[in-house]
Structure 1
């Protein structure tokens, strides 16, 4: 497939796909005319990359663990160094902190919305003749 189709299927801008290629995260084939062609498997790979980036992992770390991902959500990492494991543990702990903070903020917003909606419903009910 061409870059436009991969972009559309993954919701990833073309410029970002080119960046992933520059960083060595994806490797499209090249036709004789120089056009990039993207294998069907790169759809899942791009989604993995986006998920890892959204989780806050830097591209340098993603590049190191991508070879261990053979399909979404399955990781094989038999040759992990102690340094890599420590880095991944730090990233996991950082994500956990972010999740806790986001959950707290989400709950506060939900509570605020409930109060505002209840007050709005009460105001509407008392103003109706």
Structure 2
């Protein structure tokens, strides 16, 4: 949902041009999912305000309730991460969802999908 919110905002606010999505993992095993656009960018002083609940930014004519960036950051924080914003290299803005990244741990308590055993059962 957080990545979807960032992508939706980029599409809504971008001028005709590209919206780019990139992913990488750093040395501390953190996952970075970046969404950048070629929109007008952000005015100075608007950055932190954009993450407030109900804040709709400078383009008030664009549809929305001002919850997308707030929700994206809140979701990231609940998972031990955050959302950051910077100027995009090609102009516009770049919002980055940062999350701790770890390989899934194998479970010994639940059957795997490939074990031939039913994953879930139902009784009438």
Specify if TM > 0.5.
no
Higher relative contact order (CA 8 A, sep 6+): 2
Q: TM-score scaled by structure 1? A: 0.24
Query: What TM-score do the two structures reach when normalised by structure 2?
Result: 0.24
* More strand per residue: 2
Q: Report which of the two has the higher share of helix.
A: 1
